[in-house]
Amino acid sequence: MDDLAKTPQSRKPRRQGLRRWLLIAPLALAVVLAGALTVAFLDANWRFARHGPPAPVRIYSVAYPLREGVPLTPADLVERLGRLGYRRVDSHPAIPGEYARRFRGWEVALNRFDGPHGPVPERMVRVRIGADGIHAVQDLATGQEVTDASLEPEPLGLLSGGAHEERSP
């Protein structure tokens, strides 16, 4: 009979331990989660804070082909060369970026540029323009007709994040 009297008292400390554990466990879990979130926030903030503003993105047109059959007038050629920074000279062009109007056509010292398939070397060409466009393009060094000459792409715009954007129509 003494054993039966002790049973309810022995259960009482177990219930109190279980209740205490049920109250402390969620609190401990909340503290651990808050710590993990704080560490993740600090790590992400540190990673992104050390990066500077994004590099500007330059947008270019496609390279302008110089070959027979391309519709082009002398005025269009001069305008395009001017936008690309070419200089008109009175004699034969000597360095890349120069052009001259000659009796047999336009002599252009093409600039070197990086194309989609690799670098395009500088070269000297003669462009003959008629009423309906380009009639012929010759390499001035060899005198051979060429079909792969082109003017470098024109810059269309500069995007530098949210500020100082430049665009040309």
8 with 62, same domain: the answer is no
Residue 20 lies inside a defined structural domain of this protein: yes
> How many structural domains are present in the chain?
2
136 with 85, same domain: the answer is yes
> Which parts of the chain are beta strand (E)?
57-60, 64-66, 87-88, 98-102, 105-110, 113-115, 118-120, 123-130, 133-139, 149-151, 155-159, 166-167
* Residues recorded for the chain: 169
What confidence score (pLDDT) does residue 135 get? 93
Grouped pLDDT means (10 residues each) for the chain, 169 residues: 53 71 85 90 79 77 92 94 95 95 92 90 94 92 92 86 57
22 with 91, same domain: the answer is no
Which residues on neighbouring strands pair with residue 138, listed in sequence order?
A: 126, 145
Residue 169 lies inside a defined structural domain of this protein: no
Domain span holding position 36: 1-52
38 with 68, same domain: the answer is no
Kindly state the tokens that stand for 122: 């500088």
Residue 166 lies inside a defined structural domain of this protein: no
98 with 47, same domain: the answer is no
155 with 100, same domain: the answer is yes
Residue 101 lies inside a defined structural domain of this protein: yes
